[in-house]
Structure 1
Amino acid sequence: MELGDKVKQRRTELGLSQGELAERMGYSSRSSINKIENGRAVSQKIIARLAEALNVSIPYLMSWEEEEDKQKCERGNLLSPERLQIHLNTVPVYDPISCGTGKWVDEQPVDYLGVPDTMVSKACHYFANPAYGDSMEPRILNGDYIVFEQTESIDPGCIGAFSLNGEYFCKRFKKLPDGSMWLFSENPRYDPIPIQRDDDFRVLGKYRMRMTEN
C-alpha cells in the first residue's frame, strides 16, 4: 500500500477530516494533506510528522514492517525518538482538565510528556492535561492528553484552557456581536457557559494538539 493510501486509511480510522489532520501538523489548510493522499512525494521530516499526528510508526506508514501496524503512543513518549530520529521536548502534565462541567486542577505537575520538536516551537512554553469528560467530543476524547501553548490571550473561535471562578475548562472561546463572552463545547449536548462581567476569568493556554495512549 502506498504512503498516501496509508495516510488516508489511518486518518479515516481516527475519524479525522483532512482539515483536522492538517491542524495537527500545523498546516493552514487541508490542501497539503489532500496532495499527500493523492501521491505527492514528501520528505523524511514530513513522514515523521505524519507518523506523530496519526499515532503510528514510520515503518508502518512506509510499509517496512507490517507487524508494527498501528503502533500506539506510550504515556510520556508518543513514539521512540530513536525510531523518529527527532528530539522530544518535555511538557509538564497537570491534573485532568474538564471537558464537562468543571474540575479543579492542581498546580504541580503529575507527569511529563515527550512531544516531538516538529510539533512545537522552541519560542513557546507548553503544558498538558488529560481530558476529563466528553463535552469536546468528537475533536477531543475523554482520556486524551491535551497539549496547550501557554498564553494569556486567545482569539475568539479558538479552543483553549480557561480558569473560570476557580474551575478549569477546555472549551472553545467565543465573543458574540453583543459583546458577551462564552465558553462553548463541541458536543451539542452541553450548554454554553456564559462569562459574566464580575467573574474571575483567565486564559491559560491555546489548544495545540491532542495525544492518545490507547
Structure 2
Amino acid sequence: MNTIEIGNRIKAAREKKGLTQEELGIRLGLNKSTIQRYEAGKILRIKLPVLESIAIELNVNPEYLALKTDDPSPKHSSHIIDSNATILPQDNVHIIPIYESVSAGFGAYADDYVVGYMPLYIVSEEEAKNTMCIVVSGDSMYPKIENGDKIQVLRQDWAEDGQVVVALIDGENGVVKKIKYSDDKITLVSFNPEYQPREFVGAERDRIRILGIVKTVIKSL
C-alpha cells in the first residue's frame, strides 16, 4: 500500500473541498494530528472502512483514495441507508468511529485503534462530537449486550443511578456495567448473574472513572 500517494490524494481532496485538517478531523471524530499522519503517509496500514469514511466526507470515490482508480468522481448518493433500509437525511447523519475495545477508545493513542466507522442519526451536533462506538468483548452483560455487539457511547464523566456506563477501574481496566449508588458505596453490576457485583466503598470509589454512558446497543449479526 503506497501510503504516501494515498496521503497526497486525501490532502488534495480536502483542500479542494476547502476544509482544514482540524475541520476534517472533527467531521470524522479524529484528532487533527491523525489527519496529518494520514496525509503524510505515516500510518502504514489504513483500514478500508477508514478510507471509505474519509471519501464520503471529501465527496470522492473510495476506490480513488485506495489507488484502485484515477477517477475521483464520487459514487455515493445524497442519503445514507441504515440496516433497516430507512433513508436518513444526511444533515443529521454523522460518521462515528468504532474502537476495538474500551481501553483503546479512551487511550492516549485512541485514533490508532479505530477499526471502522458507522453512520448514526444524531440530531445534536454537540452530542455527535462526543459519541463513539465500541466493540464489546466478553459475556458479563449477557443477554442484553453480547460478545461482539457494538455500543453507542456518549462521552461524559458522570452517570445517574441505574445507567449502563463505560468506566475505567484503576485507570486501565475498561468495563461496561450498570452503576448503582448507595450511601458511601458504588456498585458495578453485570447483567449476567454468573458475575458477582463489584462494590467500591469510601475512598475506593476513587478507583472508578466514568468515561461515558451507553445510549444504544447495536447487535452483532
User: Hey, what does 2:82 align to over in structure 1?
Assistant: 79
Rg larger for: 2
Matched letter for residue 121 of structure 1: S
Q: Of 173, 183, 189, which residue of structure 1 is paired with 2:194? A: 189
Q: Which runs of 4+ in 1 moved over 4 A?
A: 80-83
Matched letter for residue 95 of structure 1: E
In structure 1, distance between residues paired with 2:81 and 2:139: 23
C-alpha distance 205-78 of structure 1, shift in aligned 2 (>3 A): farther
> Does residue 132 of structure 2 align to residue 127 of structure 1?
yes
User: Hey, what does 2:184 align to over in structure 1?
Assistant: 179
Verify the 8 A CA contact 1:149 1:205 in the aligned structure 2: yes
User: Hey, what does 2:175 align to over in structure 1?
Assistant: 169
In structure 2, distance between residues paired with 1:186 and 1:175: 17
> Does residue 161 of structure 2 align to residue 156 of structure 1?
yes
SS at match of 1:134: coil
In structure 2, distance between residues paired with 1:80 and 1:204: 28
Q: Note the C-alpha offset of 1:83.
A: 5.3
> Does residue 142 of structure 2 align to residue 137 of structure 1?
yes
Verify the 8 A CA contact 1:105 1:168 in the aligned structure 2: no
SS at match of 1:123: helix
Q: Note the C-alpha offset of 1:115.
A: 1.0
Q: Which structure has more helix as a fraction of its residues? A: 2
User: 1:24-173 counterparts in 2 under 5 A?
Assistant: 79=82, 84-87=87-90, 88-97=93-102, 104-105=103-104, 107=107, 108-109=110-111, 110=114, 111-117=116-122, 121-124=124-127, 125-165=130-170, 166-173=172-179
> Does residue 207 of structure 2 align to residue 200 of structure 1?
yes
C-alpha distance 80-174 of structure 1, shift in aligned 2 (>3 A): closer
In structure 2, distance between residues paired with 1:78 and 1:171: 31
Q: Note the C-alpha offset of 1:173.
A: 0.5
Q: Note the C-alpha offset of 1:141.
A: 1.2
What is the aligned length? 129
Verify the 8 A CA contact 2:88 2:121 in the aligned structure 1: no
Percent of aligned positions with the same letter in both sequences?
Answer: 24
In structure 2, distance between residues paired with 1:138 and 1:80: 21
Give me the CA root mean square deviation: 2.4
TM-score, scaled relative to structure 1: 0.54
Verify the 8 A CA contact 1:78 1:115 in the aligned structure 2: no
Question: Larger relative CO (CA 8 A, sep 6+): 1 or 2?
Answer: 1
TM-score, scaled relative to structure 2: 0.52
In structure 2, distance between residues paired with 1:212 and 1:139: 9
Structure 1 stretches of 5 or more lacking a match? 1-76, 98-103
In structure 1, distance between residues paired with 2:208 and 2:189: 15
